[in-house]
Structure 1
């Protein structure tokens, strides 16, 4: 089995993001895509992990539903904002 060597090329995170998007649209396996673009599969997978974390972030807004259903009862909502800051809302 022959081993393919790749010329080292520095790419920005934006360039890697574009390559990842190209791969997703290509329908090719990672190996086939990397071979077609002369990319190291290890570098490709490393950047996919790094940049994939952005996709895994929670949405900036989460719908919790209405609290009107609990209008007759008391409720407490506590949100830990980090750095020792805590937001507490209470309906008695």
Structure 2
């Protein structure tokens, strides 16, 4: 029968594994924890903490006005590449 754990319990297990010096597979075997579940929760809990992600749903803006100046060597305009992950990029450019 599967044991259902809270995120706090998973965090405690992740911390215990880290402090134990055991590899994740060794720790899971010792504690009778499913390795795939442990890895899932370790990854999930390694994201930004609640404190760091507070307000992360809010839009934020980058002022690009400093990029609008004209340079004698490169000419007016800008070129921006946003890496969105998984090889996806958003390219923004303006010339002239």
Aligned-partner Cα distance in 1 for 2:45–2:53: 16
Aligned-partner Cα distance in 2 for 1:86–1:59: 16
Deviation of the 1:54 alpha carbon = 2.5
Deviation of the 1:86 alpha carbon = 5.3
Change in CA separation of 1:87 and 1:30 when aligned onto 2, cut-off 3 Å: closer
Q: Which runs of structure 2 are paired with 1:4-83 in the superposition (5 Å)?
A: 7-54=1-48, 82=59
Which structure's relative contact order is higher, taking Cα pairs within 8 Å and 6+ residues apart?
A: 1
Gap runs ≥5 in structure 2 = 64-96
Structure 1 vs Structure 2 CA RMSD: 2.9
Gap runs ≥5 in structure 1 = 1-6, 61-80
Deviation of the 1:87 alpha carbon = 8.9
Q: Count how many residue pairs are aligned between Structure 1 and Structure 2.
A: 59
Q: Which SS does the other structure have where 2:48 is aligned?
A: helix
